[in-house]
Amino acid sequence: MATKRTSRVYTISLPPELALKAEALAKRDSRTMSELFREAFRSYYAQQARRTLEDIGEYAASRNPGYTDADVPHLIKEVRHDRPDRRPARTHR
């Protein structure tokens, strides 16, 4: 009975000088090339996530006319008051 592989295999191409650097890093850190590239991807992914959050924060700051965290409950009440309730009221049985 064959066991199913739990990871996917990719083939990548590197220019010779980058390949040598990658191999040297893997050897220095006693890692396989797969481990090195997994860690590189995790780091890249985290960096992109941080950049996205920073962009969202910058956008939110540009849209914020000076509100603070203390203003949030009041703003929520204000929005809820101005907008009609979309859900019908619950009936208790």
pLDDT string in tens for the chain (93-residue length): 778 888 999 999 999 999 999 999 999 999 999 999 999 999 999 999 999 999 998 888 888 778 888 988 988 898 888 777 666 667 776
Q: Is residue 5 part of a domain?
A: no
Q: What is the pLDDT at residue 82?
A: 78
Find the length of the chain. 93
Q: Is residue 90 part of a domain?
A: no
Q: Is residue 92 part of a domain?
A: no
Q: Is residue 47 part of a domain?
A: yes
Q: What are the C-alpha distances in Å from 52 to residues 12, 40, 55, 59, 91? A: 26, 18, 5, 11, 43
Q: Is residue 29 part of a domain?
A: yes
Q: Is residue 78 part of a domain?
A: yes
Q: Is residue 6 part of a domain?
A: no
Q: What is the pLDDT at residue 79?
A: 86
Q: What is the pLDDT at residue 88?
A: 66
Three-state DSSP state, 57: helix
Number of domains in the chain: 1
Alpha-carbon torsion (92, 74, 86, 56), positive or negative: negative
Q: What are the C-alpha distances in Å from 92 to residues 86, 89? A: 18, 10
Which structural domain range is residue 76 located in? 16-82
